[in-house]
């Protein structure tokens, strides 16, 4: 059997930390926040507001529990495949995939267990969706994937430019 690498262990611990933080905060939301419904944190800026979301982001696909479960499972399969394929082998992508996986597993656990996702972070200064810790991890992970793609594109363009300049010199 192949020994786990630091890369694999770090990614697994990152995903587990995201999942654990999400579960812990959602437990607090159900026990403390649900009876209060809303708790102002920074007046006019941030409130913790208990919401049971049966959809995805912005309540899209609301009420389509099993479709969302299947989409999450497919996404997780893709993430695991990408991670172990070593198609990219870059720490930025390791972190991005671990964040997305941890968040996806957190929301997936809710969907399977109770049929909805507990959301609670409400930005009061803008009209925006109410979201949770798992959503934050998924969003940051997706942002890191975009950053990785931009860095790789820049590197490829620089390499193409170097090759072009070498060809002109010859």
Q: Is the pLDDT at 1 greater than 50, yes or no?
A: no
Q: Which residues contact 45 (CB under 8 A, 6 or more apart)?
A: 123, 124, 125
Q: Distance between terminal CA atoms of the chain?
A: 50
Per DSSP, the three-state class of 50 is strand
Q: Which helix (H) or strand (E) holds 132?
A: none
Q: Which of 22, 110, 135, 161 is catalytic?
A: 135
Q: Which of 24-33, 34-43, 160-169 has the lowest mean pLDDT?
A: 160-169
- Which tokens is 5 given? 């690498």
- Contact present, 131 and 49 (Cβ < 8 Å): no
List the domain boundaries for the chain.
6-169
> pLDDT of 115-149, one tens digit each?
999 999 999 999 888 999 999 999 999 999 999 99
Between CA 126 and CA 97 the distance in angstroms is 29
Please indicate whether residue 161 is annotated as part of the active site.
no
Cβ 17 vs Cβ 141: under 8 Å: no
C-alpha–C-alpha distance, residues 139 and 169, integer Å? 45
Separation between Cα atoms, residue 110 and residue 48, nearest integer Å: 18
Q: State residue 142's pLDDT score.
A: 96
Does this model's pTM top 0.85? My answer is yes
The mean-pLDDT minimum among 76-90, 106-120, 132-146 falls in 76-90
Q: What is the mean pLDDT of residues 61-67?
A: 81
**pLDDT greater at residue 148 or residue 5:** 148
80 vs 49, 73, 130, 152, 160, CA distance in Å? Answer: 33, 11, 28, 21, 31
Q: Which of 22, 94, 110, 119 is catalytic?
A: 119
């Amino acid at each position: 059997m192949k020994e786990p690498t630091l890369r694999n262990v770090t990614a697994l611990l990152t995903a587990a930390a995201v999942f654990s933080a999400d579960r812990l905060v959602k437990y607090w939301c159900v026990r403390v926040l649900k009876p209060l419904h809303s708790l102002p944190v920074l007046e006019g800026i941030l409130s913790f507001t208990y919401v049971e979301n049966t959809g995805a982001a912005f309540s899209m696909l609301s009420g389509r529990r099993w479709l969302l479960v299947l989409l999450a499972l497919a996404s997780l399969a893709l993430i695991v495949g990408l991670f172990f394929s070593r198609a990219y082998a870059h720490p930025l992508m390791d972190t991005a995939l671990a964040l997305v996986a941890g968040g996806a597993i957190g929301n997936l656990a809710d969907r399977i267990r109770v049929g909805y996702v507990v959301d609670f972070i409400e930005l009061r200064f803008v009209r925006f969706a109410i979201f949770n810790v798992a959503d934050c991890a998924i969003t940051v992970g997706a942002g890191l994937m975009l950053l990785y793609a931009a860095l790789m594109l820049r590197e490829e363009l620089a390499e193409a430019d170097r090759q072009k300049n070498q060809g002109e010199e010859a």
